[in-house]
Amino acid sequence: METYRNPVLASLPAHLRQFVVPQNYARYSAIDQAVWRYVMRQNYAYLKEVAYYPYIPGLRKAGLSIERIPNLQAMNDSLSQIGWGAVTVDGFIPPSAFMEFQAHRVLVIAADIRQLEHIEYTPAPDIIHESSGHAPIIGEPEYAAYLQYFGEIGSKAMFSAQDFQLYEAIRHLSILKERSDVTKEELNAAEAALVDVQQHMGEPSEMALLSRLHWWTVEYGLIGTVEDPKIYGAGLLSSIGESASCMQPAVPKLDYTINALDYSYDITTAQPQLFVTPDFKHLRTILDEFADTMAFRVGGKYGMNLAIDSGNTCTVVYSSGLQVSGTFQQIGREDVLTYIRTIGPTALAIEDQQLRGHSKAQHADGFGSPVGAVAGWDVALEDCVPQELSDRGWLVGQIVEIQFESGIVVRGQLLDQIFHESKLCLLSFTDCNVQDNNSGEIYFEPSWGRYDMAVGENIISVYFGSADKSAFESKISVSQHKTNIVPENEDRKLHIQLYATIRALREENKAIDLQQFLQEHEFLLSQNWLALVELLELAMDSSQTDAASRIEKKLGTLSAKDASLKKLIADGIRLAKDQETEILL
């Protein structure tokens, strides 16, 4: 993985590096560059009035320019100065991975750029949204701290199986919508699949609810007062259509509170309402209010139930500090937590570092252990020091029997004891029997081999994913839905060459008779409104009034033929004519 000489990227863990793809700057055609330039010029002209004040100077701080799509090296040279970095990925990545990148102070930027046909807005993540939307506000310390903190919270959020289905459905549809060769049948099938998943989501998971807070702040947030809000959300900052329409009185502006959790969102359409925060500190207050209800802070039976329902790798943390990572299943009583069990590969860790001898290979068939207090003891087992255990006759090689208040009894020959920072975390036995004397259920028999027993009266935290991800998740299953680059056909290549010629005229400041140019490229220009807008700018700059008049007439014809182009063309004409627009980037 390319680190762009940025220490933030150099420290990324291996399991996240697998999502990173090369930017491959040569992929961007002259049309792509024109799309970037148009959006950025429009954004600059409009957003300097309605965006939160750090946005405009933040563009420069993030290594962005109006003229061309950003190069990841330039972005990282700039972002590294404020302790952040940027990498390119293939479209949507799983929310948990996205949150982890954010926690590591890394912006994930979709390598692709929207098609000209989707210049106002695309449901697929693209380099316009991720770089010009997110990056400029990161220079604001309080906001950067909020982003990182959100990532830390989000990376612990519990998923449901339905969340994964929704992620795959959205990713697949967004990829199709940006494909130039997609068929109507493919789109209809993908949209139907997404609707089907959405209709069977059930109760929203922690991640689904947390995603709403992310959407109404990081993506579509406003700051200030309801009467006079400014834009800071990346989804609005990168949408030349919605950044204007959202400020209209017809779009309700609500005070940002925990009640934002009640508002779901649709990525394919303009938002029906927006939320306004008085400042970035308030965002963290609301996030903490929700986080206090999450399994990673609540733990216990509540957290275990979420882990079991997720059907995916989760981690439970005993009050001793021992972390157990695996896929959990229901066992024992439903009303109280007395025993945990995993199925399949499981690993044990302390402080997110896998314990030697307790990897997935050692616990390939699962792991089980009691939870609770030892009957008749006035001290928690985890708080016993080696001398106390010795005084009770708990010596390696001796037979030890532990009776828990729940009725579970562990009896076997002691093999090992693991302590960490004065806490007893793990006991290992051979010739061991584990049984619930109340129900008669047997949890472990001597013939099964070595028994490792986690120590801890309580489960203090439960969260999604593994504790030591680099050891446990050495290979992540990346989505099978890939962004496909459709080869350019001969007709498309002619259009690209037209845009490349116009860019060269502007950048090299060549004197040229634009009337003659219009005549020579009459057919292609009649199909390319953005090319005409760029030519109008050249005509205005070189005072070729006849050519400018002719170009504007052609744009009027295109606008009359296609209503969807009306605002785009009008905005392009306005900027081309505005000689007083100060471009600082």
Report the binding-site residues for Fe cation: 129, 134, 219
Dihedrals phi, psi of 150, to nearest 5 degrees? -60, -40
As a three-state string, the secondary structure of 407-421 is CEEEEEEEEEEEEEC
Cα distances (angstroms) measured from residue 69 to each of 49, 121, 174, 346 = 23, 17, 21, 45
Q: How far is CA 516 from the centre of its chain?
A: 50
- In the chain, count H helices and then E strands: 24, 17
Q: Which residues are annotated as a binding site?
A: 129, 134, 219
- 416 pairs with which residues across the strands? 428
Count CB-CB contacts under 10 A for residue 80. Answer: 18
Q: How many CA atoms lie within 13 A of 4 on its CB side?
A: 24
Q: How far is CA 361 from the centre of its chain?
A: 30
Count CB-CB contacts under 10 A for residue 561. Answer: 9
Q: How far is CA 104 from the centre of its chain?
A: 12
The size of the chain, in residues, is 585
CB 299 within 8 A of CB 460: yes
| Beta-strand relationship, 399-403 and 408-420 | antiparallel
CB 243 within 8 A of CB 264: no
Which H/E stretch holds residue 506? Answer: helix 490-507
Rounded Cα distance, 387 and 60, in Å = 63
Decide: helix, strand or coil at residue 522. helix
Cα-Cα-Cα-Cα dihedral sign, residues 415, 418, 422, 424:
negative
Residue found under tokens 């509540």: 302
CB 215 within 8 A of CB 221: no
CA trace torsion 274, 276, 280, 284 (10° rounding)? -70
For 155-256, where are the alpha helices, taking DSSP H only? 161-177, 184-198, 206-214, 234-237, 242-245
